Amino acid sequence: MADDKKLTTRAADFSAWYNEVVLRAALADYSPVRGCMVIRPNGYGIWERMQRALDDMFKATGHRNAYFPLFIPESFLHKEAQHVEGFAPETAVVTHGGGKKLEEPLIVRPTSETIIYSMFAKWVQSYRDLPLLINQWANVVRWEMRTRLFLRTLEFLWQEGHTAHATYDDAEEEARRMLGVYSDFMEGWMAMPVVTGQKTDAERFAGALRTYSCEAMMQDNKALQAGTSHNLGQNFAKAFDLKFQAEHGGQEYAWNTSWGVSTRLVGGLVMTHGDDVGIRIPPLLAPIELVIVPIYRSDDERERMLEAADRIMRALADWERRDPGRLRVHLDDRDGMKPGAKYYEWELQGVPLRLEIGPRDLEKNQAILVRRDTREKRPVSLNTLGEDVADLLTRIQEDMLIAARERREEHSMRHRISYDDFRALMDGEGAFVYAGWCGSPECEAQIKEETKATIRVLPDEEFRSAETPSTCLKCGRPATAEALWAKAY
């Protein structure tokens, strides 16, 4: 870390900057257990806002919340061969309980497909029981060797949706629908633009028929897999005998989907919007949208300014009741701390708006609003403060998305690129590169080995280049698809 005030800059060391800002903005801290983290109130407040928004979106699409056990019988994982092969290296296993060796070891859930579909098999009897649309908010454990706060930890918080359908088409529609929900949330709430598309077979979820993903560009030009949605086909239904009486008669296996996002979204928010001062939180996800900092030089002024700040708080509270949940306001009335020190702290923590008010402002019946995203200052009348604050927060939310999208496009390459130039780019500043792929797993694997870049997605139509690439980036043979290549977290 640099000195007590300044963060390491993003340009100097993006990884060090990220760790410092997460710790110093009090988002999270290291746990005594290696690879785990403690999510502090500032970080958990962001996650709570994410949860509430996503939960509303899930319920609006017909899903209901449930909860399933943390422990999974080891035999369950072995029922789906691809699934156990994909997760075996990451599992934590309980072999003893109550001072005795267990008859069957228990897996601490890395994901819940197996136990959930074993229960679905009990609940689904007929086509009339379908679709079954379930979500759970939970923690999972994956024994990662290299960890980083929020981005990759042994234990993390997430939601996992699991559904059962009567037909392939219904399951495919569900998987795509939920990818759209994630994309809408990431752009609308996080102000984080994403590219959606399908994963290749090498990158698909273990046990899935097809995997779709939202990929976001971080400020070091690496990709973050922000959320995934899987059409699981009938693999798990066959493994757990999840059958139903079809409408036309006879027994059929259900079609399943699963989809999830996790607390890595908090890390994605930091790396998308943070600057060399600290984090910048989009207003919709900010636990505090506006902080009031009264300015005074004497005890008499202090009393007068605190009274004025209190009136402002009450006025904003009255305004908030006319528009429920819109304004989340905090008054920084700490004594013995200079305004500049308070400004530094709130900017580090990413509060979208700061209201400064001193004796001269009060005489003019005004206050000063300072944007966190641009640090622009503007005077506003106290008579229209609620409306001005709401309008400015809306503009900040919109401007943060525009800035992030422009930055992504500035560091995206869509014209022809030689493989040598691609390697140099990946060894350097990185980028999102849209290029042709022949469909060969060998080309995909060679590029990953030589550059550490992977196919993030085969982009959906809206993200594809106007001119379809004709040849493969690696081998030069005719391309069968356009692929988005990038290094990733």
Distance CA 208, CA 79 (A): 14
Which H or E element spans position 86? helix 81-87
Kindly give the confidence (pLDDT) of every residue in the chain, 489 residues in length, as a single tens digit, with 9 standing for 90 and above: 444 679 999 999 999 999 999 999 999 999 999 999 999 999 999 999 999 999 999 999 999 999 999 999 999 988 876 776 777 788 999 999 999 999 999 999 999 999 999 999 999 999 999 999 999 999 999 998 899 999 999 999 999 999 999 999 999 999 999 999 999 999 999 999 999 999 999 999 988 999 999 999 999 999 999 999 999 999 999 999 999 999 999 999 999 999 999 999 999 999 999 999 999 999 999 999 999 999 999 999 999 999 999 999 888 877 765 655 678 999 999 999 999 999 999 999 999 999 999 999 999 999 999 999 999 999 999 999 999 999 999 999 999 999 999 999 999 999 889 999 999 999 999 999 999 999 999 999 999 999 999 999 999 999 999 998 999 999 999 999 999 999 999
The total of other beta-carbon atoms located within 10 Å of residue 438's CB is: 19
Residue among 320, 282, 309 nearest 399 (CA)? 282
Cis bond leading into 283, ω under 30°? Answer: no
Query: Would you state the structure tokens that stand for residue 168, as one six-digit string?
Result: 């392939």
Determine what percent of the chain falls in helix, strand and coil, rounding each to the nearest 5: 40, 30, 35
pLDDT, position 328: 93
Kindly tell me the burial class for residue 456, based on how many C-beta atoms sit within 10 Å of its own C-beta (0-12, 13-18, 19 or more): buried
CATH of the domain at 465: 3.30.110.30
DSSP string, 95-139: EEETTEEEEEEEEEPS--HHHHHHHHHHH--BGGG--EEEEEEEE
Q: Which domain holds residue 347?
A: 288-394
Do 350 and 215 share a domain, yes or no?
no
Q: By the 8 A CB rule, do 331 and 313 touch?
A: yes
DSSP 89: G
The answer to the question of residue 283 being in a domain is: no
Do 373 and 435 share a domain, yes or no?
no
The answer to the question of residue 371 being in a domain is: yes
Do 27 and 176 share a domain, yes or no?
yes
Q: By the 8 A CB rule, do 170 and 263 touch?
A: no
Q: By the 8 A CB rule, do 366 and 379 touch?
A: yes
DSSP string, 385-452: HHHHHHHHHHHHHHHHHHHHHHHHHHTEE-S---HHHHHHHHHTT--EEEEEE-S-HHHHHHHHHHHS
DSSP string, 213-251: EEEEE-TTS-EEEEEEEEEEETHHHHHTT-EEE-TTSSE
The answer to the question of residue 363 being in a domain is: yes
C-alpha distances out from residue 359 to 62, 230, 290, 385, 392, Å: 53, 59, 20, 17, 24
CATH of the domain at 381: 3.40.50.800
In total, how many domains does the chain have? 3
The answer to the question of residue 405 being in a domain is: no
Distance CA 253, CA 120 (A): 12
The answer to the question of residue 99 being in a domain is: yes
pTM: 0.95
Do 83 and 38 share a domain, yes or no?
yes
pLDDT, position 320: 63
Q: By the 8 A CB rule, do 57 and 181 touch?
A: yes
Do 115 and 73 share a domain, yes or no?
yes
Do 256 and 385 share a domain, yes or no?
no
Query: Would you state the structure tokens that stand for residue 111, as one six-digit string?
Result: 């994901």
The answer to the question of residue 278 being in a domain is: no
Do 269 and 292 share a domain, yes or no?
no
The answer to the question of residue 127 being in a domain is: yes
Residue among 366, 365, 367, 373 nearest 393 (CA)? 373
Do 67 and 203 share a domain, yes or no?
yes
List residues bridging with 75 in a β-sheet: none
Do 300 and 343 share a domain, yes or no?
yes
Distance CA 407, CA 380 (A): 31
Q: Which of 244, 273, 302 is the last residue of a domain?
A: 273
Which H or E element spans position 91? none
The answer to the question of residue 85 being in a domain is: yes
pLDDT, position 77: 86
Q: Which of 394, 420, 438 is the last residue of a domain?
A: 394
Do 325 and 389 share a domain, yes or no?
yes
Do 257 and 388 share a domain, yes or no?
no
DSSP string, 278-345: B----GGG-S-SEEEEE--SSHHHHHHHHHHHHHHHHHHHHHHHHSTT---EEE---SS--HHHHHHH
CATH of the domain at 76: 3.30.930.10
Q: Which of 273, 297, 319 is the last residue of a domain?
A: 273
Do 150 and 38 share a domain, yes or no?
yes
Residue among 237, 133, 112, 238 nearest 177 (CA)? 133
